[in-house]
Amino acid sequence: MIQKEYRTVSGVNGPLMFIEGTSGIKYGELAEIVLPSGETRRAKVLEVEGDKVLLQLFEGTSGINLYQARVKFEGKGLEFGVALDLLGRIFDGLGRPLDKAPQIIAEKKVDINGRPINPTARDYPSEFIQTGISAIDGLNSLVRGQKLPIFSGSGLPHNRLAAQIARQSKVLGKEEKFGIVFAAMGITFEEADYFITDFKRTGAIERSVLFINLSNDPAIERIATPRMALTVAEYLAFEKDMHILVILTDMTHYAEALREISAARNEVPGRRGYPSYLYTDLATIFERAGRIKGRPGSITQMPILSMPEDDKTHPIPDLTGYITEGQIILSRSLHHQGIYPPIDVLPSLSRLRDKGIGKKKTREDHPNLASQLFAAYAKGKEAKELAVVLGEASLSDIDRLYLKFSEEFERRFILQLENEGRDIADTLDIGWSLLKSLPKAELKRIREEYLEKYLNK
Amino acid sequence: MNKQGKIVKVSGPLVEALGMQEAKMYDVVKVGSQRLIGEIIRLVRERAYIQVYEETEGLGPGDPVFLTGEPLVVELGPGLLDSIYDGIQRPLGRIREEIGDYIGRGLTIDSLPRKKKWNFTPLVKKGELLKEGDILGKVEETPLIEHKILVPVGINGKVESIKEGSFTIEEEIARVDGKPIRMLSRWPVRNPRPFKERLAPVAPLVTGQRIIDSFFPVAKGGTACIPGPFGSGKTVVLHEIAKWANSQIIVYIGCGERGNEMADVLLEFPKLKDPKSKRPLTERTILIANTSNMPVAAREASIYTGITIGEYYRDMGYDVALIADSTSRWAEALREISGRMEEMPGEEGYPAYLGTRVAGFYERAGRVINLGSKGVGGSLSAIGAVSPPGGDLTDPVVQQTLRVVKVFWSLDDRLAYQRHFPAINWLSSYSLHLSNIEQYLKREIDEEAPALREMAIKILQREAEVLEIVRLVGAETISKEDQLLLEIARNLREDFLHQSAFDEKDAYTSSSKQYRMLRLILLSYDLFRGLLLDKGIELKRILALPIREKLTRLKYIPEENLREFDQLEEELKKEVKELK
Which chain A residues are Cβ-neighbours of B397 within 8 angstroms? none
Return d(Cα B328, Cα A126) in angstroms, integer.
28
Chain B's closest residue to A54, CA to CA, is: B11
Q: How far is residue B62 from each of residues A185, A281, B49, B119, B482, measured CA to CA in Å?
A: 38, 28, 15, 49, 77
Nearest Cα to A125, choosing from A282, A297, A364? A297
In a domain, B104, yes or no: no
Name the CA radius of gyration of chain B, rounded: 27
Tell me: do B126 and B227 sit in the same domain. no
Arithmetic mean of pLDDT over chain B? 93
Residue B516 belongs to domain with CATH number: 1.10.1140.10
B5 contacts B32 by C-beta, under 8 angstroms: no
Q: How far is residue B318 from each of residues A97, B119, B321, B378, B577, measured CA to CA in Å?
A: 62, 20, 10, 5, 51
Arithmetic mean of pLDDT over chain A? 92
Asked if A46 is an interface residue toward chain B (Cβ–Cβ < 8 A), one would say yes
Tell me: do B174 and B209 sit in the same domain. no
- Pick the residue of A19, A20, A25, A27 with the most B CBs within 10 A to test the interface with B by mutation: A27
Cβ-defined contact of A290 to B84 (cutoff 8 Å):
no
Tell me: do B487 and B575 sit in the same domain. yes
Which chain A residues are Cβ-neighbours of B391 within 8 angstroms? 313
Chain A's closest residue to B331, CA to CA, is: A276
Q: Out of A116, A267, A375, whose CB is closest to B339? A: A267
Q: pLDDT digit string (tens) for A333-350?
A: 999 999 999 999 999 999
- What range does the domain containing B117 cover? 113-183
Return d(Cα A373, Cα A359) in angstroms, integer.
18
Nearest Cα to A250, choosing from A214, A276, A208, A274? A214
Chain B's closest residue to A75, CA to CA, is: B58
Chain A's closest residue to B259, CA to CA, is: A119
Q: Out of A118, A351, A386, whose CB is closest to B95? A: A118
Q: How far is residue B501 from each of residues B258, B439, B507, measured CA to CA in Å?
A: 19, 29, 5
How far from chain centre, in Å, is Cα B478? 44
Chain A's closest residue to B84, CA to CA, is: A120
Would you state the pLDDT for residue A102? 86
* Cis status, amide bond into A341, omega within 30 of 0: yes
Cβ-defined contact of B475 to A116 (cutoff 8 Å):
no
Would you state the pLDDT for residue B425? 96
Using CA of residue A316, residue A321, residue A327, residue A330, what is the dihedral sign? positive
B407 contacts B347 by C-beta, under 8 angstroms: no
Nearest CA distance, B552 vs chain A (angstrom):
8
- Pick the residue of B99, B101, B235, B495 with the most A CBs within 10 A to test the interface with A by mutation: B101
Q: Please give the interface size between A and B, counted as residue pairs whose CB atoms are below 8 Å apart.
A: 206
Would you state the pLDDT for residue A225? 96
B139 contacts B129 by C-beta, under 8 angstroms: no
Tell me: do B45 and B173 sit in the same domain. no
Return d(Cα B133, Cα B376) in angstroms, integer.
9
Number of structural domains (chain B) is: 4
Cβ-defined contact of A124 to B58 (cutoff 8 Å):
no
Would you state the pLDDT for residue A26? 93
SS3 B185: strand
Cβ-defined contact of A271 to B552 (cutoff 8 Å):
no
Tell me: do B119 and B40 sit in the same domain. no
Ramachandran quadrant class, A188 (left: phi over 0; alpha: psi -120 to 50; beta: rest) = beta
Q: How many CA atoms lie within 13 A of B106 on its CB side?
A: 10
Which chain B residues are Cβ-neighbours of A268 within 8 angstroms? 339, 345, 349
B290 contacts B257 by C-beta, under 8 angstroms: no
Cβ-defined contact of A347 to B417 (cutoff 8 Å):
yes
Q: Which residues, other chains included, contact A347 with Cβ-Cβ below 8 Å and sequence gap of 6+?
A: A312, A327, A329, B231, B413, B417
Tell me: do B458 and B430 sit in the same domain. no
Return d(Cα A47, Cα A56) in angstroms, integer.
9
Specify the DSSP element, H or E, that contains A181: strand A178-187
Domain boundary among B409, B434, B459: B434
Residue B165 belongs to domain with CATH number: 2.40.50.100
In a domain, B85, yes or no: no
A127 contacts A358 by C-beta, under 8 angstroms: no
* Cis status, amide bond into A281, omega within 30 of 0: no
B355 contacts B284 by C-beta, under 8 angstroms: no
Q: Which residues pair with A361 in a beta bridge?
A: none
Asked if A318 is an interface residue toward chain B (Cβ–Cβ < 8 A), one would say yes
Chain B's closest residue to A441, CA to CA, is: B549
Q: pLDDT digit string (tens) for B165-201?
A: 999 999 999 999 999 999 999 999 999 999 999 999 9
Specify the DSSP element, H or E, that contains B442: helix B434-444
Residue B343 belongs to domain with CATH number: 3.40.50.300
Return the percent helix, strand and coil in chain A, to nearest 5. 40, 25, 40
Return d(Cα A356, Cα A140) in angstroms, integer.
10
Nearest CA distance, B46 vs chain A (angstrom):
15
Which chain B residues are Cβ-neighbours of A258 within 8 angstroms? none
Nearest Cα to B159, choosing from B135, B122, B128, B133? B128
SS3 A164: helix
In a domain, B82, yes or no: no
At residue B234, φ and ψ (nearest 5 deg) are -60, -50
Domain boundary among B12, B35, B70: B70
Which chain B residues are Cβ-neighbours of A444 within 8 angstroms? 494-495, 552
At residue A110, φ and ψ (nearest 5 deg) are -125, 135
How far from chain centre, in Å, is Cα B306? 10
E runs forming strands in A228-348: 243-249, 291-292, 298-306, 326-329
In a domain, B422, yes or no: yes
Q: pLDDT digit string (tens) for B438-486?
A: 999 999 999 999 999 999 999 999 999 999 988 888 777 889 999 999 9
Nearest Cα to B543, choosing from B535, B551, B553? B551
Residue A448 burial (C-beta neighbours within 10 Å; 0-12, 13-18, 19+): exposed
Cβ-defined contact of B9 to A49 (cutoff 8 Å):
yes
Query: Given pLDDT bands bounded at 50, 70 and 90, which one contains residue A2?
Result: low
Cβ-defined contact of A116 to B266 (cutoff 8 Å):
no
Would you state the pLDDT for residue B288? 95
Ramachandran quadrant class, A50 (left: phi over 0; alpha: psi -120 to 50; beta: rest) = left
B14 contacts B50 by C-beta, under 8 angstroms: yes
Q: Which residues, other chains included, contact A433 with Cβ-Cβ below 8 Å and sequence gap of 6+?
A: A412
Return d(Cα B555, Cα B573) in angstroms, integer.
20
- Look at chain A and count its residues: 457
Asked if A84 is an interface residue toward chain B (Cβ–Cβ < 8 A), one would say no
Q: For the beta carbon of residue B472, count every other beta carbon within 10 angstroms.
A: 10
In a domain, B521, yes or no: yes
Q: Which residues pair with A142 in a beta bridge?
A: A129
Torsion of CA A441, A447, A450, A452, to 10 degrees: 40
Would you state the pLDDT for residue B2? 58
Residue B50 belongs to domain with CATH number: 2.40.30.20
Would you state the pLDDT for residue B1? 44
Would you state the pLDDT for residue A393? 82
Cβ-defined contact of B61 to A288 (cutoff 8 Å):
no
Return d(Cα B25, Cα B71) in angstroms, integer.
8
In a domain, B75, yes or no: no
- Look at chain B and count its residues: 580
Cβ-defined contact of A444 to B552 (cutoff 8 Å):
yes
Which chain A residues are Cβ-neighbours of B9 within 8 angstroms? 47-50
Tell me: do B58 and B172 sit in the same domain. no
Chain A's closest residue to B256, CA to CA, is: A280
Q: How far is residue A430 from each of residues A345, A412, A435, measured CA to CA in Å?
A: 16, 7, 9
Torsion of CA B556, B561, B563, B565, to 10 degrees: 0
B193 contacts B153 by C-beta, under 8 angstroms: yes
Cβ-defined contact of B292 to A386 (cutoff 8 Å):
no
Nearest CA distance, A230 vs chain B (angstrom):
14
Does this model's pTM top 0.90? My answer is yes
Nearest CA distance, A319 vs chain B (angstrom):
7
- Pick the residue of B230, B262, B493, B539 with the most A CBs within 10 A to test the interface with A by mutation: B230
Query: Given pLDDT bands bounded at 50, 70 and 90, which one contains residue A177?
Result: confident
Q: Please give chain B's pLDDT, 580 residues, in tens.
A: 458 999 999 998 899 999 999 999 999 999 999 999 999 999 999 999 999 998 898 999 999 999 999 999 999 999 999 999 999 999 999 999 999 999 988 888 999 999 999 999 999 999 999 999 999 999 999 999 999 999 999 999 999 999 999 999 999 999 999 999 999 999 999 999 999 999 999 999 999 999 999 999 999 999 999 999 988 989 899 999 999 999 999 999 999 889 998 888 888 888 888 777 788 888 999 999 999 989 888 999 999 999 999 999 999 999 999 999 989 999 999 998 888 888 888 888 899 999 999 999 999 999 999 999 998 999 999 999 999 988 899 999 999 999 999 999 999 988 998 889 999 999 999 999 999 999 999 999 999 999 999 999 999 999 999 999 888 887 778 899 999 999 999 999 999 999 988 888 889 999 999 999 999 999 999 999 999 999 999 999 999 999 998 998 899 899 999 999 999 999 999 999 998 7
Domain boundary among B385, B400, B434: B434
Would you state the pLDDT for residue B230? 87
> In one letter, which amino acid is A384?
K
- Pick the residue of B56, B236, B260, B325 with the most A CBs within 10 A to test the interface with A by mutation: B260
Which residues, numbered 178 to 197 in chain A, qualify as contacts with chain B under a Cβ-Cβ cut-off of 8 Å? none
Nearest CA distance, A189 vs chain B (angstrom):
32
B217 contacts B210 by C-beta, under 8 angstroms: no
Query: Given pLDDT bands bounded at 50, 70 and 90, which one contains residue A392?
Result: confident
Cβ-defined contact of A287 to B296 (cutoff 8 Å):
no
* Cis status, amide bond into B326, omega within 30 of 0: yes
Tell me: do B240 and B389 sit in the same domain. yes
Return d(Cα B568, Cα B510) in angstroms, integer.
18
In a domain, B441, yes or no: no
Nearest Cα to A302, choosing from A232, A215, A230, A239? A230
In a domain, B572, yes or no: yes
Query: Given pLDDT bands bounded at 50, 70 and 90, which one contains residue A197?
Result: very high
Q: pLDDT digit string (tens) for A53-90?
A: 999 999 888 889 999 999 999 888 899 999 999 999 99
Cβ-defined contact of A287 to B263 (cutoff 8 Å):
no
Nearest CA distance, A29 vs chain B (angstrom):
7
Tell me: do B342 and B220 sit in the same domain. yes
Tell me: do B262 and B407 sit in the same domain. yes
Return d(Cα B136, Cα A109) in angstroms, integer.
57
Asked if A398 is an interface residue toward chain B (Cβ–Cβ < 8 A), one would say no
Would you state the pLDDT for residue B577? 93
A186 contacts A222 by C-beta, under 8 angstroms: yes
* DSSP code per residue over B237-273: HHHHHHHH-S-SEEEEEEES--HHHHHHHHHHGGGSB
Q: Out of A355, A371, A389, whose CB is closest to B419? A: A371
At residue A328, φ and ψ (nearest 5 deg) are -105, 120
Tell me: do B242 and B364 sit in the same domain. yes
Tell me: do B173 and B202 sit in the same domain. no
B378 contacts B199 by C-beta, under 8 angstroms: no
